[in-house]
Structure 1
Amino acid sequence: MSLPRVSVKDVVWQGATIPAGTTFLMNAWAADFDPGHFKSPQEFSPERFLDIPEGLGTQYFAFGAGSRMCTGSHLAYREMYITFVRMLIAFEVLPAADTSQRPILTGPLECNANPSGLSTEPKAFKIGFRVRDKACLKKWFEQTDTTTKHIER
């Protein structure tokens, strides 16, 4: 769910009038899995985001939509990109040896550790990491130590 919004004027939607001052929430999960908006929304298909027409922006609603959309979404996307690329360069990601410890990916209710929360919180799961390039990883740690040594710990 999105954070609450309040309508600023009367809105007519599908023949019903929503009066000004009405509090409502956008169901972001339902929007992300709308088959009218996404072809086969239940399938893992990251390439669906590659051919978005210019000016439409990211068609993903975890950060909200419209004028009240989270202003930090672009920063979050860039930070996630850097983090995931670095992780994939440095490590081979492996499934947990014990199949009962693997993530649950069947749906938002089954995988949610906090079903009464405002957003989905994945249940704990285990994965393995195997270092791909020890020299590269060592260099990154050294660079981090150099650039953060002025910060008190």
Structure 2
Amino acid sequence: MISRREFLKRCRDVSVAAFGVEMFGTDVAEGFMKIAASDRPLVSFIQGQSCTGCSISLTYGNETNFIDFIMKLIRLQVHPNLSFSQGESYLKILDTVSAKGGHVLVVEGSIPVKMKKACMLGEHTLYDELKKHMEKAAAV
């Protein structure tokens, strides 16, 4: 069993690793508080080549309930792994969210630039779809 002091040191180390230098800890906490108090942003996810790693790692983590966390901070519109929508219905929701503008677009995985047809979303390359959706997003 570790001591209370050792536990607090480990918490500090994890905080620094996750959020950077200790002096930014209060800024991060205040940021989460502002998000929780404001209108939750619309968020949609696009996955590039060979990736679901970030979302799946967060979803299956044991420390917190990721689904509860995101439902309190954001309005998840569409996610390739967490949504029931797949294929054309996924792309339609993505287009609808982008048409509104002002959303947050989360991109996971690599994006082929020199060989664009290596990754397709429907009938379009990931590169072209991202370009279209990024132009209307408030943040990527």
Question: Same fold by TM-score, threshold 0.5 exceeded?
Answer: no
Larger radius of gyration: 1
Q: TM-score, normalised by structure 1?
A: 0.22
Larger RCO of the pair (alpha carbons < 8 Å, separation 6+): 2
